[in-house]
Structure 1
Amino acid sequence: MKKVWMGAGALIIAGVISWWMIGSDWRRLATNLPTDKNMLFWTVDQRDAAFRMLDRLPFLVKARPIEAGSSVRALETGAPLNLDFDIDAYVEEQRHSAVVILHDGKVRYEKYNLGFTDSGRWTSHSVAKSITSTLVGAAIRDGYIQSLNEPVSNYIGGLKGSAYDDVTVEQLLTMTSGVAWNEDYDDPNSDVAKFGTHESSDGLPALVSYMSQLPRAHAAGDVWNYSTGETNLIGILVSEATGKPLATYLSEKIWAPYGMQQDASWLLSPDGQEISGCCIQAATRDFARFGQFILENGTIDGV
């Protein structure tokens, strides 16, 4: 028994030493970690703490890995930017955690702030919408999706009979479905605030259950209305069409073959679906590489 207590005491001492050695910045971050799962209403300090480590906080949310490949696409260093304003001061003033600027495929500016580093993974928000939408193009090319003119309910059966029944894949992609949606981030009763905590009572995935209950506001194709919920539906559509988790398909089509520098991750809804309107954790240079991939017309090694 004495040896057991001695071992426990050693673990406690080691834990205290480790806590002290991580430094004051990380201790401050750890004490600001949020417990509320709805990130829309986190404080600035809570966002600074959590957005660099959300995929390592399983008590808040789970994540699925986006695996990188065995080779890394190099980013050459270009000439420093010659600007007529102090970009370093701008980064500090705007509380940016990281900025990487590519020009002609070369790094012209790179800066890290708020204790963040080039090896860290920061949580994207709507940048992930572009990645999700790009996977639709991959699924069409692979033959999983036949046409942008198909009804989304051909792929998401739970939308049959709802306002989305005759909405096309293209209308969902362009947020012109005409289905009512409130994206007010300051309103706790808005759709964007409520849909992530919706509990399905009809056997459908929680997102599909929520979206299928929304009423029509306009004729499909007539009015653009920004909707994170619709990009989340796009993610489900791609997963249903390909038969693969969205993170796996992203790894296969872009992350590994294009040469991202490290694994990323995609946060999951409570029922295990990638939250495809946001929530990819990746290195800043890998977000920059994705931008370069788009500039290269979404091709890899000429394919």
Structure 2
Amino acid sequence: MAKMMKIAGYGLALLVAAGAIAWYAIGPQWRTFLSNPPLDDRVLQWTQSQRDSGFALSDKLPIIDSVRIGAGDHVRPLPQGEPLALDLDIDAYLESQNSAALVVLHDGQIRLERYGLHQDRHKRWTSFSVAKSLTSTLVGAAIRDGHIGSLEDKVSDYVTALRGSAYDDVSIHQLLTMTSGVSWNEDYQDPQSDVALFNETEPEPGETALLSYLKRLPRAHPAGTVFNYSTGETNLVGILVASATGKTVSGYLSEKIWRAYGMQQFATWVTSKSGEEISGCCMQAAALDYARFGQFMLDGAFADGQPVVAEGWIDAATNLQVEVGREGVRDYGYQWWTFDDGAYMAGGIFGQAIFVDPARELVIVTHSSWDDARGVSAGQNDERYGFFAAVQAAIDAEG
């Protein structure tokens, strides 16, 4: 009996030891996340701790579905350049931003690369609305490929399920500039807002979940008259691209950019209840691949020596198309935020960005987990713009 109890004790000890080893092996992000897991996929309601780890795990969680964006066999090199001399305390800045990644490319070379929150150059991080700028770029590709005729075409010409809805007379141009006039509430603090609820919709038979939600929305303004920031608009841009090309958004992105330009690894895209990409949000990719996308834009949107988008697309997409008219908010192109000096930015909540400055051949990527979605409470958004300006000044000082 004593011998059996001793053997049982050894077995229990081995199980405890194996459990401890497994718990350690899953890594600090999983350990943090599993110690206080969220109840569902509504990331806007996650706690700070859940965001700090969960933004790196979005395509690994059983509560979130995603599809893969395939990379190719070759990787576009990003050579190491001279360290950038900045007149600020980088460590203090990273801490203040609660930064997961910070990358600066200049003339195609890495001048600064830093990570936090247990991230590194091989790990993916969610993009939030940075994905909008990639989705809009696929419209430029679809025009070049002959799948879309003109930006003045009506959305309902390609997405016939919208005929009879508030989107019936909306042009593709109005969709890209978020001036459709269709009602949408983007309040990240309101659990009953459209941006919080659209992915909770049960799709109608034969329809995608996104379309089932969007086609019910009422009109708030005449089309083309009022800018209203709407993730719903870009979700519809993705449906438009898929309908026009006959390909999935993730597949078309892989074909036209991810493989052709030479991203280092596959990315992922979060999907809705009915399996289509939520194209206004939530790609997951490595920081260096987001930087490569910025460089792709600087390179004139060429891949494999061939233009990917329609002629003139980059100038139109990344310059002022509509004045936003809100203090502290930049103006808008085709799903890009525009700056007066010719720079432009793909931006996402909680501190995600691809900042592109053509005049300086500069790309800056930021991944963060801010205190609040817009980075207002702790001044993190303004601080980030200050960092962009500091990098520009450092490049100018080099002559």
- Measured in 1, the distance between the counterparts of 2:274 and 2:15 equals 36
1:217 to 209, 212, 220: 220
- Measured in 2, the distance between the counterparts of 1:140 and 1:24 equals 45
Q: Secondary structure at the match of 1:140?
A: helix
The one-letter amino acid paired with 2:265 is: Q
Does the CA contact (< 8 Å) of 1:32 and 1:49 recur in 2?
Answer: no
Q: Which residue does the alignment assign to 2:353?
A: none
Structure-to-structure mapping, 1:24-173, within 5 angstroms: 26-57=30-61, 59-173=62-176
- Measured in 2, the distance between the counterparts of 1:236 and 1:113 equals 35
Deviations 1:141-195 (A, max 9, x none): 1111111111101111111001100101111011010111111111112111111
1:103 CA drift (Å): 1.1
| CA RMSD across the alignment | 2.0
Structure-to-structure mapping, 1:242-281, within 5 angstroms: 242-281=245-284
Q: Which residue does the alignment assign to 1:3?
A: none
Q: Secondary structure at the match of 1:164?
A: coil
1:231 to 227, 230, 234: 234
22-31 or 149-158: bigger deviation: 22-31
- Measured in 1, the distance between the counterparts of 2:27 and 2:81 equals 34
Deviations 1:233-274 (A, max 9, x none): 000111111111111111100000100000111111110010
The one-letter amino acid paired with 1:35 is: L
- Measured in 2, the distance between the counterparts of 1:23 and 1:41 equals 24
261-270 or 15-24: bigger deviation: 15-24
Q: 1:81 to 1:166 in 2, by over 3 A?
A: same
The one-letter amino acid paired with 2:59 is: D
List alignment gaps of at least 5 residues for structure 2: 1-9, 307-399
What is the number of equivalent residue pairs in this alignment?
A: 297
Q: Secondary structure at the match of 1:54?
A: coil
Q: 1:11 to 1:137 in 2, by over 3 A?
A: farther
The one-letter amino acid paired with 1:56 is: K
Deviations 1:191-248 (A, max 9, x none): 1111111123464222111111111111111111100001000001111111111111
Q: 1:202 to 1:7 in 2, by over 3 A?
A: same
170-179 or 19-28: bigger deviation: 19-28
1:30 CA drift (Å): 2.6
Does the CA contact (< 8 Å) of 2:28 and 2:118 recur in 1?
Answer: no
TM-score (norm 1): 0.93
TM-score (norm 2): 0.71
**Identical-pair percentage:** 58
Does the CA contact (< 8 Å) of 1:152 and 1:167 recur in 2?
Answer: yes
4+ residue stretches of structure 1 with deviation over 6 A? 6-12
List alignment gaps of at least 5 residues for structure 1: 1-5
